[in-house]
Amino acid sequence: MVSYKRLTPEEVHFSGAALLDSDELTEMDIKENDPELPLLPQSPRCSITAALLTLGGLIVILSAVWLLGALFWIHTPLSKEPHRPPAPKRQGETWMQPESCLQTPESQRFDCFPERAVVVTEEMCHARNCCFIQGLQAKVPRLKGVPWCFYTPEYPSYELVSNDDTEIGWLGKLLRNKKTYYPKDIDALQLEVMYEEENRLRVKITDPSEKRYEVPIDVPVVQKRALNLAYSVEFIKEPFGMIVKRLQTGTVLLNTSVAPLFFADQFLQMSTSLPSRFLYGLGEHRSSFLHDLQWNTLTMWARDVPPVELTNLYGVHPFYLSMEPDGNAHGFFMLNSNAMDVALQPAPALTWRMIGGIIDFYVFLGPDPSSVIGQYLDVVGKPAMPVYWALGNHLCRWGYKTSNKTWSVVKEMRNFGIPQDVQWNDIDYMDNALDFTYDPMSFSTLPELVKDLHKHDQHYVMILDPGISSSQPSGSYWPFDEGKKRAVFINDSNGDILIGKVWPGLTAFPDFSNPDTHEWWSQNLERFHSKVPFDGVWIDMNEPSNFFDGSQKGCPDNELENPPYTPGILGGTLKAKTVCASSLQKFSSHYNLHSLYGLMEAKATESALRKITGKRPFIISRSTFPSQGKYSGHWLGDNRSQWKDLATSIPGMLTFNILGIPLIGADICGFGGSTTEELCVRWTQLGAFYPFSRNHNSIDEQDQEPTAFSPAARTAMKEVILLRYSLFPYLYTLFHHAHVSGHTVATPLLFQFPNDEKTYAIDKQFLWGKSLLVTPVLEAGLDYVVGYFPQGLWYDFYTGDSLRSSGEEIKLQAPTDKINLHLREGSVIPTQRPNITLWVSSGQPLHLIVSLSEDGWAKGDLFWDDGEALDSFELNQYAFISFTKTMTSQVLHNHEEATYITVETVSFYGVKVKPENVTVNREEAAFTYLDNQVLSVSELGLNLSQNFTISWM
């Protein structure tokens, strides 16, 4: 839930230049790509008219630039300590711009003056000993964002003065002989290169003389260097650079010599070339799945703001996946939680700019995209296995206003036979927005509602915000009184409790870096659970969000609040709509820990729910950080009921799957604004294939539960939710593979087709796992959709009709009551007869759908357990069955749960010739065969816990 309804233009400061289409070329690009252009520029024909027109045009352009600069300056919030200007040159000192400046192509110009709200002059640039080429000197239109001030190729940096072998790799010493233009340079650095795995490299650059902040998440500790490395590491001594190559192909994965290394107390910068323009990840931002490298800067600093482009959003994930020209992939993870900019440019190249911590990064060599994600999650942690009902249909809104209204919505869903597993409440259930309370008047029947949900095999989730009211009468509000006694709240720089403002008014913020806070938080949850036996927790507003900038008293004027460089944060300062950066937490300052707040709260909540319920915790968090998937899922924030928001939810979902948080979805039908019937139907169809599927609505907007619409719309929504429930065995198995191996649940097409470059930018379609292709309608008024089908054989999920593609776009019929689904050849999909809750559905017989390859084979698997026990896989309390060849079931790991399930029906798609007979475990069985080559065998009654074989002749 957003902390305010609307942003004014003055509050929005984009974190990068405006994006342009990739077909806009630089002058050099035009010359290189057009053989008809002369090698030397031709002299233009002169005339008085032409001269006047040229002069007039120049005046107009200069006026426009001046006006834009003035407007940008006016709309930039003032801080008490603006960015420091470069030190002035000594009297008589000059700097001659070298010839190499003119020889540097635009795409390879690395910004020497990244500060925002500054119009860089030649004098300012040369004060930093950098090249200056003003954009208006261009002969042809330049791309927006090309820096006027950029580093020379020989710009001074560190020198590698020693490099010694260690048990795990190399230990080097870096020295800087010339000061930079940021204060408190660290002149001597330690370089540690660790060959941790054959496909994983780790590099740390630290200050050997003084301990600096490092991110407190668990990562593997490796003692011995790996053998048979898939990469090589080379060093350039001066200016220092590091080059990492893939040995098999020679592809350069990392080359830091393209721009100088900076390591000052509050400014760290490292650049690298990229092997291609295909880059993904770097959350959380609203954008296409494939990032635009046309001078696009992504800022990372957790922030409460409705999703908009070019703005730092709720979470911070400094990880990217890069595709290489030959279809291989690699990943890069910068383990740093300080505010940062990640600058992308069309060289292709990338620059990290961070304002604290150390440089600590990993390179993962895949070589395929799925392996890259698995290797990344080996470091930060694989996602938790969700409780079974988490994969059902969830319903919520801010503004039910009473427990009886909430209850009536649940009853309406039951009356219409629409599946629903979970009912939620937003903050209106609380007593005056106080955590761990419920309104004794409007929500007096909340405990009875929860009991009724449980009676019907349904579950209840409520919201909690971290802000704890500090203004209640002493002795009347246990959470604050007890928290103050135990000193669990964030303090200001003077050591007093920092007071902000959120929904209940003046508030204190728990310090989740303090172990004592975890115990206090758990006790609060346990006390409330004894009154309202909730099943899961929604932790919101945990960037943390604050209606003040900093605190009730403001923030001190110091270097933590006003660093020498401030990334492109919405609001222009670190304290904007959060707590002071200089505030004190148990582990470190908030300056360092800010973007970890949601992760630390999720960890405390997960631990508490394990103890309280004795079952797998269910937590959805708004703010996230690497390793979050171990503790919670995520939703994409306060979207709007617009077609654009429907479409952008797919790249958001795909991005979080590669970031290791597969339990992800967007608010179905939109949160803000009122939906339309058509939009809500189409969104429900797409939302049925979000890994986390929740319809969530804002206060005082039009109702958008499925029961609120016409019979036709209601039926369409019901049918697609039933379809999701029928696919539960397949979806549950996908989450098992995510938990054990780090696989994606919602999968980008490029992951399965890395040699098909046409899939690299697709984010209007996606796969569930490897096999089920989802092609939703994302625009109004359409009864068709165009989808891309990679080369191979595909089958219509509903009918079994085959579609053979050479790698092409195909127009599909898509009436309002249908979402297009196709099965990839060679797959076995376990489905189940659906019901109104997953508890009932999960006991129903299985129907296996087998989509045969051209050669007549298929494979798949099924993971099955009781759906809620803690650590069932780790404790061997599960069954695992593989399906191979034409159809052979093999129980690889058995468990009691499998004995309760039978396989009732098997359908084979792509059986080219009608069989004369079908045998099941060598006994003849009845079958049907259709003209579209679909063979079905039914009434099997095969026990899932026993092997079986189906064959035909």
DSSP 309: B
- Contact predicate 887/847, CB 8 Å: no
* H/E stretch holding 205: strand 200-206
Read off the tokens for 549. 């900038």
Q: Nearest 5°: CA angle at 642, between 637 and 645? A: 45
Q: Tell me how far apart the alpha carbons of residues 488 and 470 are, in angstroms, rounded to a whole number.
A: 13
Q: Tell me how far apart the alpha carbons of residues 880 and 945 are, in angstroms, rounded to a whole number.
A: 9
Contact residues for 828 (Cβ-Cβ < 8 A; gap 6+): 848, 849, 850, 851, 858, 859, 860, 861, 883, 887
Q: Which residues sit opposite 621 in a β-bridge?
A: 539, 634
Q: Which residues sit opposite 928 in a β-bridge?
A: 936
> How many CA atoms lie within 13 Å of 739's alpha carbon, on the beta-carbon side?
20
DSSP-based three-state secondary structure for 824: strand
Higher pLDDT, 49 or 328: 328
Closest CA to 599 of 657, 652, 523, 660: 660
pLDDT of residue 93 exceeding 90, the answer is no
Cis peptide before 367 (omega within 30 of 0): yes
Q: Tell me how far apart the alpha carbons of residues 338 and 592 are, in angstroms, rounded to a whole number.
A: 5
- Contact predicate 410/694, CB 8 Å: no
Please, which pLDDT band fits residue 877 given cuts at 50, 70 and 90?
Answer: very high
Please, which pLDDT band fits residue 886 given cuts at 50, 70 and 90?
Answer: confident
Closest CA to 260 of 338, 182, 348: 182
* pLDDT number for residue 90: 40
Q: Tell me how far apart the alpha carbons of residues 860 and 828 are, in angstroms, rounded to a whole number.
A: 5
- How far the first Cα of the chain sits from its last, in Å, is 60
Around Cβ 522, how many Cβ atoms within 10 Å?
Answer: 18
At position 860, the amino acid (one-letter code) is G
pTM, rounded to two decimals: 0.90
Express each pLDDT in 480-533 by its tens digit.
999 999 999 999 999 999 999 999 999 999 999 999 999 999 999 999 999 999
Q: Tell me how far apart the alpha carbons of residues 419 and 410 are, in angstroms, rounded to a whole number.
A: 10
At position 427, the amino acid (one-letter code) is I
Rg (CA), the chain: 29
Q: What are the residue numbers of the active site?
A: 540, 543
In the chain, the largest separation of any two C-alpha atoms, in whole Å, equals: 100
* pLDDT number for residue 32: 34
Please, which pLDDT band fits residue 94 given cuts at 50, 70 and 90?
Answer: low
Read off the tokens for 845. 């017989």
Please, which pLDDT band fits residue 91 given cuts at 50, 70 and 90?
Answer: very low
Q: Tell me how far apart the alpha carbons of residues 254 and 14 are, in angstroms, rounded to a whole number.
A: 28
Express each pLDDT in 539-569 by its tens digit.
999 999 999 999 999 999 999 999 999 999 9
Read off the tokens for 157. 């940096």
* H/E stretch holding 524: helix 515-529
Closest CA to 328 of 234, 246, 406, 432: 246
Express each pLDDT in 640-698 by its tens digit.
999 999 999 999 999 999 999 999 999 999 999 999 999 999 999 999 999 999 999 99
* H/E stretch holding 364: strand 359-364
Give the mean model confidence (pLDDT) for residues 716-739: 98
Domains of the chain: 108-150 (4.10.110.10), 158-378 (2.60.40.1760), 465-635 (3.20.20.80), 753-952 (2.60.40.1180)
Please, which pLDDT band fits residue 18 given cuts at 50, 70 and 90?
Answer: very low
Phi, psi (rounded to 5 degrees) for 240:
-60, 135
- Contact predicate 821/843, CB 8 Å: no
